[in-house]
Amino acid sequence: MDNDNNSTTSHDESLVYSTSQGRIKHSTTEAITASDGFAKVRRETKGRKGKGVVTITGLGLDNKALKELAKKLKKTCGTGGSVVGEVIEVQGDKREEIKLVLEKNGFKVKFIGG
């Protein structure tokens, strides 16, 4: 019986709510994929009903920095877009404008695909 009591401690990772403490937040650390020095720019249409987007990968930035860079890119291109995981997606085919913005921010740009 003592084994059952020891398995439910206050440091249990699966615990999300306690009546004495309320909601329990667990610290989460995001693993950022390291950059190889090149920002990879690719035009994609797959899974988007033929609509083209430009995806930028390999930046090696955290989520907050990715969102700030995506905001700059969208404003410069005058289009919409989003951040999905570690990938920035910008609507339309604006590869040259994206290249200029990335180079101003210190990235080397490599076009991937056709």
In terms of residues, how long is the chain?
A: 114
* Closest listed residue to residue 77, CA positions, set 57, 54, 58: 54
With cut-offs at 50, 70 and 90, classify the pLDDT of residue 7.
Answer: very low
- 44 forms bridges with which residues in the sheet? 53
DSSP characters over 52-84: -EEEEE-----HHHHHHHHHHHHHHHTS-EEEE
pLDDT in tens, 68-109: 999 999 999 999 999 998 899 999 888 999 999 999 988 899
DSSP tag of 37 = S
